[in-house]
A = this chain, B = another copy of it.
Amino acid sequence: MRLLASTDFALRVLMRLGADPARHRSTETLAADIGVPRNHLHKIVQDLAEAGLVRTLRGARGGVMLAKSPGEISVGAVVRRLERGQALVECFRPDGGACCLAPDCRLRNVLWRAREAFLAELDATTLAACVAPPRPMPQAVGDDAAP
């Protein structure tokens, strides 16, 4: 069972932005942090913006930031949105696929319930709950204090 690599990366983008939601980050920084090529990141950010999860700021001091507070972002809603084109198995495809077992198959219902159980766990979680609180900055003792 796999999520799309683009969903994995998108979750990392949200986690990065959610760690300091008042701050915007450049796509260059995000791409380097997450380890994806910049054009791949651009597509991910575009998807997240279309989903209303991030907003992009243009210009020299532009970048990306969350469009909502982390407490308003459900991990389940994010995964449902980003994986909306994915069929767990053939018969979950919008066109019904071409499985020899349809339409009398009871396995389909079992797999459907299992997928819902997976998503229900994520629905119950917000980005805020996933983002670790920022670490306190080390307290400087003097100007020459080691970082």
Query: Which residues in A have some Cβ–Cβ distance to B below 8 Å?
Result: 1-3, 5, 7-8, 11-12, 15-16, 33-35, 75, 79, 83, 86-90, 98-101, 104-107, 110-111, 113-115, 117-122, 125, 129-132
CA distance A2 to B87 in the complex (A): 6
Q: Which residues of B contact A33 (CB under 8 A)?
A: 100
**Taking the full assembly, how many copies of this chain does it contain?**
2
Min CB distance, A130 to chain B, in Å?
Answer: 4
Minimum distance in angstroms from A94 CB to a CB of chain B: 14
Residues of B within 8 A of A110 (CB): 75, 121-122, 125, 129-130
CB<8 Å pairs between A and B, sample of 29: A1-B2, A1-B3, A1-B86, A1-B88, A2-B2, A2-B86, A2-B88, A5-B90, A7-B89, A8-B89, A11-B107, A12-B99, A12-B101, A15-B101, A15-B105, A16-B101, A35-B98, A35-B100, A75-B107, A75-B110, A104-B132, A105-B130, A106-B131, A107-B130, A110-B121, A110-B130, A114-B117, A114-B118, A117-B121
- Asked whether, in the complex, the Cβ of A107 is within 8 Å of the Cβ of B3, the reply is no
Nearest chain B CB to A64's CB is how many angstroms away?
A: 15
Cβ contacts under 8 Å, A107 to chain B? 11, 15, 75, 130
For A3, give its contact among B5, B88, B101, B105 (CB under 8 Å). Answer: B88
Q: For A11, what are the chain B residues with a Cβ–Cβ distance below 8 Å?
A: 89, 107
